[in-house]
């Protein structure tokens, strides 16, 4: 087992308090701190404490021994998942991620960052507000009627006809700044759309505000999770959460951002299925709480003292409060809040003791 030094990314939407407090550092921080990365992504890999070796380079030196034969055969010589803590103080972009087939084609022909899908699951540490997936058409029509903005008539008609993809296209390509302003001023009439007030203020005139009218607004309680599969449109708005995903950086943005937007690419892969967001309460088994997803690359568990972490494949454990001790064989590692450890492939189980709480990321080859 090897303790890790991790990387913080300082995007503008980050918090000046959440990650600083998690790490026991001075708060507020000098600038926004958005994401704590725990893993081996080549852009910002964690490093082995004490020697500074990047985790991706460490794994490349002995992939079979550190990842295990099954993980290596299935995913190649890399850690297949990336664990993050997100500290969201301002809205993130409206975005989608490709599935595996789309990622392979996009990497070859459209400049995608890599050839991997990017499904993800996020567990709320605080109350967490997000948007995920298309709302049921009848519910969206009812909300648009209460909003009562005449310029939305074409979007409403498309939704009423069950053409949610067409409604998204109209919202993103046929929306003027004036219509966005009308929508923003009308949001107070519909309490269920109150979560859109901040995106509308942050990105005035952005067509993503109109597109967001089509999506489920979700407020997660601490401990609840949302799963975002390939093609599902989503945008995180506020809160702190632990997120686990495939080790990829394939993001296609539709709006609510100052970064590059590729509406055509979004429309080509968006999942137009409708219904409630995929919210998970987790499956509790003693000191473990599991958030099941269909993805073989990862599985996520909340861990309390007394938990036994089954062996097999590479694993990462991140302490989010208190202090813990992880033991496997004759090895022992102590973790304080914000600290993490990499557990290489080993069939032996690890035991967690102490007084704290952690999140355990592992592969899910039984999926």
Q: Catalytic residue positions?
A: 253
Cα atoms found within 13 Å of the Cα of residue 65, Cβ hemisphere only? 6
| DSSP character string of 240-274 | EEEEEEES----EEEESSSS---HHHHHHH----B
Cα dihedral: 163, 169, 170, 175 (round 10): 150
Cα dihedral: 233, 237, 240, 241 (round 10): -10
| 189 C-beta neighbours (distance < 10 Å), count | 11
Q: Backbone phi, then psi, for 26, in 5-degree steps?
A: -55, 135
3-state secondary structure of 3: strand
CB 232, CB 287: distance < 8 Å: no
Residue with tokens 């490349």: 60
Distances (CA, A) of 125 to 290, 304, 358: 15, 14, 11
Q: Backbone phi, then psi, for 90, in 5-degree steps?
A: -150, 155
């Amino acid at each position: 087992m090897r303790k890790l030094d991790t990387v913080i990314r300082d995007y503008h939407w980050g918090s000046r308090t959440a990650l600083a407090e998690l790490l026991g550092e001075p708060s507020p921080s000098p600038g926004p701190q958005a994401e704590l990365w725990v893993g081996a992504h080549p852009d910002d890999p964690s490093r082995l404490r004490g020697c500074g070796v990047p985790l991706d380079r460490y794994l490349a030196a002995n992939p079979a021994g550190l990842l295990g034969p099954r993980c290596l055969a299935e995913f190649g010589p890399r850690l297949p998942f990336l664990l993050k803590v997100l500290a969201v103080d301002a809205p993130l972009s409206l975005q989608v991620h490709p599935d595996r087939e789309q990622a392979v084609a996009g990497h070859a022909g459209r400049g995608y960052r890599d050839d991997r899908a990017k499904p993800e699951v996020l567990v709320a540490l605080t109350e967490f507000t997000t948007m995920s997936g298309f709302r049921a058409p009848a519910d969206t029509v009812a909300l648009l009627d209460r909003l009562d903005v005449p310029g939305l008539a074409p979007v409403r008609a498309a939704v009423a006809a069950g053409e949610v993809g067409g409604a998204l296209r109209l919202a993103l390509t046929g929306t003027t700044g004036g219509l966005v302003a009308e929508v923003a001023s009308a949001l107070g009439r519909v309490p269920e759309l109150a979560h859109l007030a901040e995106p509308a203020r942050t990105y005035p005139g952005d067509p993503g505000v109109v597109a967001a009218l089509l999506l489920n607004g979700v407020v997660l309680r601490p401990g609840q999770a949302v799963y975002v599969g390939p093609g599902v449109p989503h945008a995180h708005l506020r809160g702190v959460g632990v997120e686990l995903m495939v080790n990829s950086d394939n993001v296609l943005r539709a709006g609510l951002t100052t970064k590059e937007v590729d509406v055509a690419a979004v429309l080509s892969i968006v999942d137009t299925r409708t219904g409630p967001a995929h919210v998970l309460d987790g499956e509790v088994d003693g000191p473990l709480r599991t958030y099941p997803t269909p993805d073989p690359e990862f599985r996520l568990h909340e861990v309390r003292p007394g938990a036994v972490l089954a062996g097999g494949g590479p694993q990462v454990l991140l302490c989010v409060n208190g202090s813990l001790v992880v033991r496997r064989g004759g090895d022992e590692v102590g973790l304080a809040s914000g600290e993490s450890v990499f557990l290489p492939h080993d069939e032996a189980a690890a035991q967690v003791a102490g007084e704290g709480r952690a999140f355990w990321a592992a592969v899910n080859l039984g999926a």
